Amino acid sequence: MDKQITPPNQPERKGPDKLGGTAAARRRLLEDLLLSIKLASQEERIALIIELAGRDELTLAERRQVLIATQRYLVNARTELPREIAGLLWAILRLANRQDLRRKALELFRTAMEAMPRTEVVPQLKEPLLELVKQLLPRGTDAEFSPELFQRASRRLLNNDNSESVIHLISLGLFFFPFNGPLREMRAEANLDCGRTNSAMSDFEELVEQFPERLNFRLARAEAAIRLGEYEEAMGDLEVYLKHNPDDPEGLRKKGECLFHQGRHFESLSVLNELLKLEGDSAELFVNRARVNEQLEFLDDAQQDAERALELDKGNQEARQLRQSIMFRRQSYGMEDDLYSAFVRGDEELFLGELKIPETRFADIGGLNQIKQSIRETIEYPLKFPEVSERYGKTAGGGLLFFGPPGCGKTMLARAAAGECGVTLVNVNLAHVLDKWVGNSEKAVSMVFAAARKRAPSILFFDEVDAIGGNRANLQTGWEKKLISQLLIELDGLTSINENVMVLAATNTPWEVDFALRRPGRLGRLVFVPPPDAGARAEILKLYLEKKPFIEDGIDYAAFGAKLEHYSPDAIRQVVENAAAIPWREAIETGAARPIGAVDIAVSIEQTPPDLTEWEKVVKRYEEFAKQSNKQVGIGFKKPAGSEGPINPS
């Protein structure tokens, strides 16, 4: 248990009675006291804070609030403190009588020190600071006010990963011991860890000036300069360092990095070759050399280095992305066979990304119950019950075309379909298919189908299919028509069997999709994914809210579902995120956490505009398309009698 702080010559406390009564009464009284601090003069504020600090009955949250008020209204960078503040420092120390509040005390002590008259720092700060540092160390530690005491306390804070607190503590120590090298070095490293590179650079500059013989300080200053993009300054330190340590790998790495960023690629390549001789094969070095070779247009060498890095470290994402970049760059130079070579090697992930079974399930999607059932009957049941399905001639395969307004769940349905069935999702976007070189786009279409067949059972999903399968009557160039022809060939399975390969596609503008793609046997089963109705909106809101760990009980989801008319599922997700941000910001400012409540949701709805306000205009175009398609596929917009949920295809 933390011991009580008894400031020297502390006057007897006089003030309001102890905080007591119900929690609401305590909160109101504390709020009144904090308001008094805000409205008081500077001298009165100090007296009120000292009086509050003397209350032993304050809870942890109440102490935190008083400390926040002290920082906000009194001890901040804009305040010029009076000469006599020793009582205030002792009050801060007493308020921070718990381990998790001492970081705030360190911050306030440092800010107070920087705002105090210079002549008053030592006589007023030294004694309470010594008491604070003692509390950061195990009991019985030698309490002599010395640099070593600050070093021990800083190391203990670093063990708890409190770099910010270390910076405050060492800054306080450096005021009293400005030329202590170990303290300044510790602060420089803590500043680097916290991303305060400019502050770290200032510390390393003082260390280099104070200890010119310590070459490790020059190496550290070079690292700070590199992070700041000051490569000339870094090279100056590295030349001095490497003159005495010519084979030091860390120094050579930094030199190679500086040379690369300065555009001195041949020199950087020479340094990397030297490092490979010194250290042997290293995935990191091969990746760095691949980047240099790519800049020098040595694409063969760059690709070999990236592949060598992947051999040494199969999980190296940087090497994988670099190899992909080099492959596409070579392809852009007219080397069309690179994609095909990658496919032959079995490396489809090079251009398709990671192929895996999604974690999304139908339970993650609100509403759309009839669509979910349709997908189950089309894909899931034939896969899960093959013997029964075979008896009735039902096989998994064929295609569905999802259409409807953006943000209503078309892509989520594709992911959930694959997740429910436990099959691989091959998600194809425009970057995977479209290529400026004649013949490459058709080849890419063939390859994605081949990748899906290889992993059957699988789902092949084309998002924004109208971009690669647009109406041929409106196309101007021959290669676009050839691309659609190749897509039709693959869908028909003329060159391969598409059994257990389900093709899903999505579009916001189904009338732009070529009619041949919408024929039965291809993407002939059209599925309208409408905006959610009131019931579905309530379900979607509940789904997103329940993913938050701290929500209020008794929220009327049905009432909010009615208010969210013209909101897509994406917009409802944003409503939830904005609602969660309201108590989150309050908790950061006050230190008192509360759950996400109905009031927050209501405020968020007012601040988040609906994204389907133009739906009434767009729906006429969808209705016209549905009427034209109804003769072929039986799609309509009318609700069947007795149905529930949003409008779904019949």
Q: What is the CATH number of the domain that holds 325?
A: 1.25.40.10
Does 166 lie in the same domain as 69? yes
Local confidence band at 256 (pLDDT 50, 70, 90 cut-offs): very high
On the question of a cis peptide bond just before residue 406, with omega within 30 degrees of 0, the verdict is no
Does 28 lie in the same domain as 107? yes
The residue out of 493, 528, 563 marking a domain boundary is: 528
First to last CA, the chain: 69
Give pTM, 2 decimals.
0.48
Measure Cα distances from 484 to 265, 490, 506 in Å: 44, 10, 16
The residue out of 471, 494, 528 marking a domain boundary is: 528
Read off the pLDDT of residues 180-204 as tens digits, 9 standing for 90 and up: 999 999 999 999 888 899 999 999 9
Q: How high is the pLDDT of residue 240?
A: 94
Does 318 lie in the same domain as 267? yes
Is residue 6 domain-resident?
no
Helix 42-53 vs helix 60-73: angle between axes, to the nearest 10 degrees?
160
Local confidence band at 632 (pLDDT 50, 70, 90 cut-offs): very low
Helix 163-176 vs helix 118-135: angle between axes, to the nearest 10 degrees?
130
Mean pLDDT, rounded, for 431-454: 67
Does 57 lie in the same domain as 181? yes
Look up the CATH number of the domain holding residue 603. Answer: 1.10.8.60
**Half-sphere exposure in the Cβ direction for 301 (13 Å, CA):** 13
**Residue of higher predicted confidence among 218 and 52:** 218
Mean pLDDT, rounded, for 465-492: 66
Of the candidates 364, 287, 357, the one whose C-alpha atom is nearest the C-alpha of residue 319 is 287
Q: How high is the pLDDT of residue 335?
A: 41
Does 326 lie in the same domain as 285? yes
Specify the 3-state DSSP secondary structure of 456: coil
The 3-class secondary structure across 525-553, one letter per residue, is EEEECCCCCHHHHHHHHHHHHHCCCCECC
Q: Please tell me the distance from the alpha carbon of residue 496 to that of residue 460, in angstroms, as a whole number.
A: 15
Q: How high is the pLDDT of residue 174?
A: 92
Q: How high is the pLDDT of residue 13?
A: 42
Q: How high is the pLDDT of residue 638?
A: 39
Is residue 203 domain-resident?
yes
Is residue 465 domain-resident?
yes
Is residue 545 domain-resident?
yes
Place of tokens 């306390």: 153
Local confidence band at 341 (pLDDT 50, 70, 90 cut-offs): low
Does 473 lie in the same domain as 337? no
Q: How high is the pLDDT of residue 183?
A: 94
Q: How high is the pLDDT of residue 173?
A: 92
Q: How high is the pLDDT of residue 615?
A: 65
**Residue of higher predicted confidence among 241 and 158:** 241
Q: How high is the pLDDT of residue 602?
A: 92
Task: Please name the helix (run of DSSP H) or strand (run of DSSP E) that holds residue 173, with its range, or none.
Answer: helix 163-176
Local confidence band at 120 (pLDDT 50, 70, 90 cut-offs): confident
Is residue 135 domain-resident?
yes
Q: How high is the pLDDT of residue 505?
A: 87
Q: How high is the pLDDT of residue 481?
A: 65
Q: How high is the pLDDT of residue 392?
A: 80
Sign of CA dihedral 103, 109, 112, 113: negative
Residue type, 572: I
Express the helix, strand and coil content of the chain in percent, nearest 5 each.
65, 5, 30
Of the candidates 191, 211, 210, the one whose C-alpha atom is nearest the C-alpha of residue 200 is 191
- Range in 342-356, 409-423, 487-501, 551-565 with the lowest mean pLDDT: 342-356
Measure Cα distances from 561 to 275, 287, 367, 534, 573 in Å: 63, 52, 12, 5, 13
| pLDDT higher than 70, residue 514 | yes
Provide the domain limits for residue 322: 234-352
Does 117 lie in the same domain as 38? yes
Q: How high is the pLDDT of residue 488?
A: 79
Read off the pLDDT of residues 27-83 as tens digits, 9 standing for 90 and up: 888 888 889 888 888 888 888 888 888 888 888 888 889 898 888 888 876 777 777
Decide: 254 and 231 in contact? Cβ < 8 Å.
Answer: no
% of the chain residues with pLDDT over 70: 81
Structural domains in the chain (count): 4
Mean pLDDT, rounded, for 575-586: 91
Does 275 lie in the same domain as 330? yes
Q: How high is the pLDDT of residue 72?
A: 87
The residue out of 497, 528, 559 marking a domain boundary is: 528
Q: How high is the pLDDT of residue 347?
A: 58
Does 393 lie in the same domain as 341? no
Mean pLDDT, rounded, for 390-396: 76
Q: How high is the pLDDT of residue 471?
A: 57
Read off the pLDDT of residues 65-74 as tens digits, 9 standing for 90 and up: 989 888 888 8
Is residue 386 domain-resident?
yes
- Range in 123-132, 497-506, 592-601 with the lowest mean pLDDT: 497-506
Place of tokens 């699988």: 458
Sign of CA dihedral 454, 459, 464, 470: positive
| pLDDT higher than 50, residue 631 | no
Q: How high is the pLDDT of residue 634?
A: 37
| pLDDT higher than 80, residue 15 | no
Mean pLDDT, rounded, for 88-114: 86
Greatest extent of the chain over all pairs of C-alpha atoms, in Å: 95
Of the candidates 412, 374, 461, the one whose C-alpha atom is nearest the C-alpha of residue 569 is 412
Does 155 lie in the same domain as 104? yes
Does 191 lie in the same domain as 89? yes
Q: How high is the pLDDT of residue 524?
A: 74
**Residue of higher predicted confidence among 85 and 305:** 305
Q: Please tell me the distance from the alpha carbon of residue 230 to that of residue 224, in angstroms, as a whole number.
A: 9
Is residue 617 domain-resident?
no
Is residue 263 domain-resident?
yes
Does 177 lie in the same domain as 238? no
